[in-house]
Structure 1
Amino acid sequence: MFDKLADPLYRLNNLYYITDKTGKKVKFRMTAEQLAYWQNEHSRNIILKARQLGFTTQVCIIQLDKALFESDKCALIAHTLHDAKRLFREKVKFAYDNLPELIRLANPVKIETKEELVFDNGGSVTVSTSFRGGTLQRLHISEFGKICAKYPDKAREIVTGAFEAVPLNGKITLESTAEGRQGYFFDYCQTAEKLANKDLTAQDWRFFFFAWWQNKDYQMPSVELPERLVSYFSELKSKHGISTTAEQQAWYYAKEKTLGEDMKREYPSIPSEAFAQSIEGAYYAKQLTWLYANNRIGALPDNSHLPVSTFWDLGVSDSTTIWFVRAVGDEFHIIDYYENSGEGLNHYFKVLKDKGYHYDRHIAPHDIDNRQLGASRAKSLRELAYDGYEIDGAIYSVRFDVVPRTSNVNEDIEKVRQILPKCAFDAIKCEQGIKALESYRKEWNDKLGVWRDKPLHDWSSHGADAFRYFAVYHSKPVMVTDLKVSMY
Structure 2
Amino acid sequence: MVAGHPSQLPTDAEELARCLADPEWRLFSGCLYQIIVKGEPVKDADGNEIDEGESFVQPFKPNQAQRRFIKRLWHRNLILKARQLGFTTLIAIMWLDHALFNGNQRCGMIAQDRETAESIFRDKVVFAYDHLPEEIRERFPLARASTKELLFAHNNSSIRVATSVRGGTIHRLHVSEFGKICAKFPHKAEEVVTGSFQAVPQSGIIVVESTAEGTDGEFYKMCQRAQALVAGKTLLTRSQYRFHFYAWWQDPSYTMDPAGVPISDELHDYFNGIEADSGCKIDQGQRAWYTEKQRNDFAGAEERMWREYPSTPGEAFQQSTMGNYFAKEIAYLRKRGGITQVPVLDLPVYTFWDIGRKDGTAIWFMQRLRQEDRFIGYFEDHNADLRAYAVELQRRGFVYGMHFLPHDAGHQRLSDTNKSTRQMLQDLLPGHGFYVLPPITELMTGIYQTRKHLKTAWFDIDATAQGIERLTNYKKKWSTAEARYLDNKPEKSNGCSEGADAFRQYAQATELGLLDSLTNNRGYQEAPTPTCY
TM over 0.5, shorter chain: yes
- 1:105-144 residue CA offsets vs partner (Å, 9 max, x unmatched): 2221111112111111121111111123222111111111
User: Does 2:308 match 1:276?
Assistant: no
Cα pair distance change 1:255/1:174, threshold 3 Å? same
Deviation at 1:237, TM superposition (A): 2.9
SS of the equivalent of 2:78 reads strand
SS of the equivalent of 1:251 reads helix
User: Does 2:67 match 1:35?
Assistant: yes
Cα pair distance change 1:118/1:303, threshold 3 Å? closer
**Structure 1: how far apart are the matches of 2:146 and 2:473?**
39
Cα pair distance change 1:244/1:9, threshold 3 Å? same
Deviation at 1:402, TM superposition (A): 3.7
| Contact 1:297–1:425 (Cα < 8 Å) also in 2 | no
Deviation at 1:148, TM superposition (A): 0.9
Of stretches 9-18 and 85-94 in structure 1, the one that deviates more from structure 2 is: 9-18
- Residue matched to 2:484: none
Cα pair distance change 1:240/1:58, threshold 3 Å? closer
**Structure 2: how far apart are the matches of 1:100 and 1:371?**
66
Deviation at 1:470, TM superposition (A): 3.2
SS of the equivalent of 1:149 reads helix
Give runs of aligned pairs for residues 373-412 of structure 1, distance below 5 A. 385=398, 401-403=402-404
Cα pair distance change 1:362/1:129, threshold 3 Å? closer
**Structure 2: how far apart are the matches of 1:311 and 1:150?**
35
User: Does 2:37 match 1:20?
Assistant: yes
Cα pair distance change 1:291/1:209, threshold 3 Å? farther
Deviation at 1:21, TM superposition (A): 2.6
Cα pair distance change 1:176/1:361, threshold 3 Å? closer
- Residue matched to 2:4: none
| Contact 2:447–2:504 (Cα < 8 Å) also in 1 | yes
- 1:59-101 residue CA offsets vs partner (Å, 9 max, x unmatched): 0000101111113211111111111101111111110011122
**Structure 2: how far apart are the matches of 1:297 and 1:168?**
46
Where do 5+ consecutive residues of structure 2 fail to align?
1-15, 40-54, 353-362, 380-385, 410-420, 422-442, 475-491, 519-524
Pick one of 12, 19, 22 that aligns with 1:4. 19
Where do 5+ consecutive residues of structure 1 fail to align?
279-284, 314-321, 326-351, 373-379, 387-398, 408-414, 442-452
Deviation at 1:298, TM superposition (A): 7.5
Pick one of 324, 331, 338 that aligns with 1:296. 331
Q: Which amino acid aligns with 1:11?
A: R
Q: Which amino acid aligns with 2:249?
A: W
SS of the equivalent of 1:474 reads helix
**Structure 2: how far apart are the matches of 1:242 and 1:295?**
34
Cα pair distance change 1:134/1:363, threshold 3 Å? closer
User: Does 2:258 match 1:226?
Assistant: no
- Residue matched to 1:204: 240
User: Does 2:90 match 1:61?
Assistant: no
Cα pair distance change 1:111/1:235, threshold 3 Å? same
TM-score by length of 2: 0.63
**Structure 2: how far apart are the matches of 1:455 and 1:270?**
25
Q: Which has the larger radius of gyration?
A: 2
**Structure 2: how far apart are the matches of 1:240 and 1:433?**
34
Q: Which amino acid aligns with 1:10?
A: W
Cα pair distance change 1:277/1:302, threshold 3 Å? closer
Cα pair distance change 1:233/1:308, threshold 3 Å? farther
User: Does 2:141 match 1:108?
Assistant: yes
Cα pair distance change 1:136/1:303, threshold 3 Å? closer
SS of the equivalent of 1:216 reads coil
- 1:191-227 residue CA offsets vs partner (Å, 9 max, x unmatched): 1011114211222111100001111121112243112
Q: Which amino acid aligns with 2:37?
A: D
| Contact 2:109–2:165 (Cα < 8 Å) also in 1 | no
SS of the equivalent of 1:106 reads coil
Q: Which amino acid aligns with 2:150?
A: L
- Residue matched to 2:274: 236
Pick one of 149, 159, 168 that aligns with 1:125. 159
Cα pair distance change 1:471/1:28, threshold 3 Å? same
Pick one of 143, 150, 159 that aligns with 2:177. 143
| Contact 1:180–1:438 (Cα < 8 Å) also in 2 | no
- 1:312-336 residue CA offsets vs partner (Å, 9 max, x unmatched): 89xxxxxxxx9899xxxxxxxxxxx
**Structure 2: how far apart are the matches of 1:167 and 1:430?**
39
Percent identical across equivalent pairs?
36
Cα pair distance change 1:109/1:230, threshold 3 Å? same
SS of the equivalent of 2:107 reads strand
Q: Which amino acid aligns with 1:33?
A: A
Deviation at 1:255, TM superposition (A): 1.1
Cα pair distance change 1:381/1:107, threshold 3 Å? closer
Q: Which amino acid aligns with 2:17?
A: F
Give runs of aligned pairs for residues 439-478 of structure 1, distance below 5 A. 469-476=502-509
Give runs of aligned pairs for residues 69-88 of structure 1, distance below 5 A. 69-71=101-103, 72-88=105-121
SS of the equivalent of 2:236 reads coil
| Contact 1:47–1:174 (Cα < 8 Å) also in 2 | yes
Deviation at 1:253, TM superposition (A): 0.8
Task: Please tell me the root mean square deviation across aligned C-alpha atoms, in Å.
Answer: 4.5
| Contact 2:117–2:161 (Cα < 8 Å) also in 1 | yes
- Residue matched to 2:122: 89
- 1:238-276 residue CA offsets vs partner (Å, 9 max, x unmatched): 444343111110111111122212211111101111111
Give runs of aligned pairs for residues 361-376 of structure 1, distance below 5 A. 370=391
Q: Which amino acid aligns with 2:192?
A: I
Q: Which amino acid aligns with 2:294?
A: E
- Residue matched to 2:288: 250
Give runs of aligned pairs for residues 153-172 of structure 1, distance below 5 A. 153-172=187-206
**Structure 1: how far apart are the matches of 2:291 and 2:128?**
35
Cα pair distance change 1:433/1:249, threshold 3 Å? same
| Contact 1:181–1:438 (Cα < 8 Å) also in 2 | no
Aligned residue pairs, count: 395
Deviation at 1:160, TM superposition (A): 1.5
| Contact 2:178–2:209 (Cα < 8 Å) also in 1 | yes
Cα pair distance change 1:161/1:259, threshold 3 Å? same
**Structure 2: how far apart are the matches of 1:440 and 1:292?**
8
